[in-house]
Structure 1
Amino acid sequence: MGLAMCPLCSEDEDIEVVRTLEDGRRVVKHRCGYAWEHGAPVAQKTMPSHSFNDLKARFPKPEDVEPKVLERAARLKTQYLATRPDFDPGVAAYWAKYQEIFSPDGLRTCDPRLLKDFANSDVGARPGNQATFNSAWNSMGDTAAGEATRKTIEYLLYGPDDMPIEDRLQHLLTGATSFAMTGFKEALLTRVLCVMQPDRFLTILKYTTEAGGKREIARMVYGLELPAPESVNWTLGRLILWSNNVLRTLVGEGFANQQHAAAFLWWAKDQPGGFP
């Protein structure tokens, strides 16, 4: 099957299609075992376009939450804070270390293994199983994988000034950038933002998930329905950041840090009297 050429073996034989992605690209695998995303996204049907600012203005806002729902959330917050958890002081030290590593100079000079270690660490925020990332890293080797990961983080944090971070995030999520590291996706990209801006980003690493992403928490705690990620007029990159901003405003102050606030939200979503 001459679909593509294996980046590792430079061979175009015995390549099979593993699955087709929602945007029309395919995940293919060579007989050597290496898998990668191949092809360009299929053009979507023409839909009414909306500007970045228009979409942001139309995004659900904290003031959309009903007063009685806010009152319930405030009662839950008071109840939760009465038994304030003791957070591991090692988290702040670990994140301070990676703030240095993710600085422009740090990214250029750090040991690549530090980047792999970050992707597999649960300190401060749990990104889940990173089998795809680890498989790609092991296949590529420390040097090539480290460079791809460095460029991915660099683009997210320090990309073109005229491009909103929401859209840089989207490019990395969809593979629109040729250098994006395989498997370094939503949970890890969000975790980078949590480390670099710990006062802004809640440690809820997925927009939507059965276990409870930002979308589910907004609905279950505040009765706020956020857009579906497959909606044509939105992008996941924008939904990730804008939902964080809404939840950050709604949860308010009084927590030790954003990990504490996120822990409250996960707890609150399961309390009686919430929304299904």
Structure 2
Amino acid sequence: MAIDLNCSTCHSDERVVLVERLSGTQRKLKCEQCGYEWLRGEPERQKVPLPTLEDIKKRFPKPGDVDPQKLARANKLKVEFLEREPEPDPNVAPYWAKYQQVFSADGLTRANPQDLKDFANSNIGANPGNMSVFNEAWNEMGPEAGAHQVRKAVEYLLRGTSPVDIEDRLTGLISDTKSFGMKGFKESLLTKVLCIAYPDRYLTILKYTGVAGKREIASSLWGLDLPDPETANWTIGRLILWSNDLLLALLGEGFRHQQHAAEFLWWAKDKA
């Protein structure tokens, strides 16, 4: 099989043959006149596998990153805090139970619009802050349209399947990349929904960063430098949920419920 190429050694192009097809466009050629062999073309580029969600999460700060002295200080504050026996807020348990039913798969479709608006403006068990943006949007849309959008947002957050990971659905709702979102129903309210739907899983600290967000608490109490959402290449949903998991791991046992644990964190942050 002759190939129209010149041998760089003897300059012959009459007895150049193909020896082997390699990856991509690369081929091994040989001049049968002088025996010289060479490569021509480009090899196939190796594809670097994309990291999985678990691979990425491994780079997030962990309890083992805490300085032992700061860990001991936080544990001492925990002991001091748990010696107190504050009276539980009697309104929290029935409120939580009501909205667990409201946000259930069956309850959400029948949820009263006023209940959904009241949820956004209530500070029972967790304070979402100023909801003027939500209230303005709700009033402009009207109760039925507003309730429809809130139902869509909650359903997608709790039971959506695309994407599979709740961190990424949370990001989509906060960043307005999904049509399921409701104006003003963002980080603090979405986190509050998670706190009610999964009361043993999420702390009632509704902001990742702020005056007393998860990031500031981790820094003040344990000396951990969590990623800045404005500069770090991390999605907001992952920062919110992974910081929640980190704080839970650092807190350990002994708290009656997540509101109790959150009360400790706010108290200890100022003490530290």
Q: TM-score range by the shorter chain?
A: 0.7 to 0.9
**For residues 173 and 104 of structure 1, what CA distance do their matches in structure 2 show?**
22
Q: CA deviation at 1:256?
A: 1.4
Conserved? CA contact 2:163–2:169, under 8 Å: no
Distance 1:73 1:179 in 2: 40
* Corresponding residue of 1:244: 244
TM-score where L is the length of structure 1: 0.78
- Residue type matched to 1:212 in 2? A
Alignment of 1:114-193 (within 5 A): 114-160=115-161, 163-193=164-194
The CA deviation at 1:259 is 0.6
What's 1:213 paired with? 213
RMSD over aligned Cα atoms: 1.2
Q: Distance in 1 between matches of 2:132 and 2:162?
A: 33
What residue is the counterpart of 1:77 in the other structure? 78
1:94 aligned residue:
95
Alpha-carbon distance between aligned partners in 2 of 1:113 and 1:162, rounded to the nearest angstrom: 30
- What do residues 55-102 of structure 1 show as CA deviations (whole Å, max 9, x unaligned)? 201100011112211111111011111112211122011101100000
Tell me how far 1:133 sits from its aligned partner: 0.3
| Alpha-carbon distance between aligned partners in 2 of 1:105 and 1:139, rounded to the nearest angstrom | 28
Post-superposition shift, 1:53?
2.1
Post-superposition offset of 1:171: 0.2
Residue aligning to 1:222: 222
1:4-19 to structure 2, matched below 5 A, reads none
Quote how far apart the aligned CAs of 1:161 are. 6.2
User: 1:260 corresponds to which letter in structure 2?
Assistant: H
Show the counterpart of 2:257: 257
Q: Which residue number in structure 2 is paired with residue 36 of structure 1?
A: none
Q: Secondary structure at the match of 1:269?
A: helix
SS of residue in 2 equivalent to 1:227: coil
The answer to whether 1:59 aligns with 2:57 is no
In the TM superposition, what whole-angstrom CA distance separates every residue of 1:4-45 from its partner, at most 9, and x where no partner exists?
A: xxxxxxxxxxxxxxxxxxxxxxxxxxxxxxxxxxxxxxxxxx
For 1:132, give the aligned amino acid: V
Amino acid at match of 1:228: D
Paired positions, count: 223
Give the Cα–Cα distance (whole angstroms) in 2 for the partners of residues 61 and 232 of structure 1.
17
Q: After TM superposition, give the deviation of residue 145 of structure 1 in Å.
A: 0.5
Q: 1:233 to 1:54 in 2, by over 3 A?
A: farther
State the shift of 1:54 in Å: 1.9
Find the counterpart in structure 1 of residue 268 from structure 2: 268
Partner amino acid for 2:116? L
Q: Partner of 1:111 in structure 2?
A: 112
In percent, how many aligned pairs have the same letter? 58
Offset from partner CA, 1:170-196 (integer Å, 9 cap, x none) = 000000111311000000000000111
Deviations 1:138-194 (Å, cap 9, x if unpaired)? Answer: 000011110000000000000016520000000000001113110000000000001
Q: CA deviation at 1:232?
A: 4.7
State the distance in 1 between where 2:80 and 2:158 align: 37
213-222 or 175-184, which deviates more: 175-184
Distance in 1, Cα, partners of 2:184 & 2:51: 30
**TM-score, normalised to structure 2's length?**
0.80
The SS at the match of 2:58 is helix
1:252, distance to aligned residue in structure 2 (A): 1.1
Structure 1 residue 51, shift from structure 2 partner: 3.9
Larger CA deviation: 60-69 vs 138-147: 60-69
AA at the equivalent of 2:176 = G
Q: Which residue of 2 aligns with 1:197?
A: 198
Partner of 1:39: none
